[in-house]
Amino acid sequence: MTDRSLILSGVLFALLLAAPVLLPLIGESYLLGLIIKAMLLAIAAISLDLLIGHGGMVSLGHAAFVGIGAYTAAIGLENGVENILVLLAMTLAMTGLVALVTGILALRTSGVYFLMITLAFGQMIYFTLTSLAAYGGDDGLTLWSLATLFGSDVVQSGSGLYFVVLGTLFVTWLGIYRISRSRFGRVLRAARDNPERAEVMGYPITRYRLIAYLIAAMIAGVSGLLLVQHAEFVSPALAAWQRSGDLIVVVVLGGLGTRNGAILGAFFIVIVEEVLGAIIHEWRLIYGPLLVLMVLFAKGGLSDLLDFKSSRGTAP
């Protein structure tokens, strides 16, 4: 039987691929920016789902890596580095280094203690970013130049940036999907479900978890780099613990460890916020109870609500 979650994946990416052509035809080209926002959120959420859904590591500091990626790109741009590939390498190196240091320490704990130590590291990074007075401090930094690709502005705005973000989302989705179905993913889930048994079987679960932590951090950093290209602005708020909470909401709402959960959750959150914000100023009064209802009646997330038979914990 054909896996219906794969059909859903195909439909989602087909619609996203066609959006730059279809939306202008109906006079809704402004929606491209909204879709880019949702895709960027989905990229960061997919990376967090690798930790929570597959590794059982609930992090409340994951948004800090989005902030690190954004500020690495912004500082590079401010100092004359404009090639997006160079900025990408800098982002991966910086987020990987910070994740290595914090991960080695954080993974000495588990459960609620892991959550608290990632929160602490996230807040440390947040306050470090607010102290960068040369780059706007608390107020953030407006960027007057954006990254280029070998001198071309194709990655700066419009459909060019859209397809870069879409390509990144697809590569991220496919990469995590392949990881989840690999030996690495199976060991990671075994460590989530029964760490003592996994250790007895001879698997170095701390090493596996650290590698997953590094991968998730670097993906989040890439979403921060692309966010700079889209927003043309960077702020310490990107690394605030509330943003990490938002990512957890996206992952849980979409469905932990499911193939399309993070994408569904990201688009649901962005669309609902946009629609409610256009209807009522105090839209959070409706948004909060709506999330409560979703959690109560769709305990497996949007993936279960839509009854797509993806195997929980085996594919994103």
Beta-bridge partners for 148: 83
Give the pairing type, strands 141-142 and 233-234.
Answer: antiparallel
d(CA 136, CA 19): 35
Report the alpha-carbon distance of residue 302 to residue 306 in Å, rounded.
Answer: 6
The answer to whether residue 137 scores a pLDDT higher than 90 is no
pLDDT at position 313 is: 43
Write the pLDDT tens digit of every residue in 183-193. 999 999 998 88
pLDDT of 20 > 60? The answer is: yes
230 versus 309: which is more confidently predicted?
230
The pLDDT tens digits for 34-80 are: 899 999 999 999 999 999 999 899 999 999 999 999 999 999 999 98
User: Cα(17)–Cα(7) distance, rounded to whole angstroms?
Assistant: 15
Quickly count: other Cβ atoms within 10 Å of residue 233's Cβ: 15
Once rounded to an integer, what is the mean pLDDT over residues 262-288? 83
pTM: 0.90
Q: What is the pLDDT of residue 3?
A: 67
Q: What is the dihedral of CA 190, 195, 196, 199, to 10 degrees?
A: 70
* Residue 239 pLDDT class (50, 70, 90 cuts): very high
Q: Judge whether 15 and 264 are in contact, CB under 8 Å.
A: no
Class for the domain spanning 4-305:
mainly alpha
The contacts of residue 276 (CB under 8 Å, 6+ apart) are: 283, 286, 287
What residues does each domain of the chain span? 4-305
In which band, very low, low, confident or very high, does the pLDDT at 111 lie, cut at 50, 70 and 90?
confident
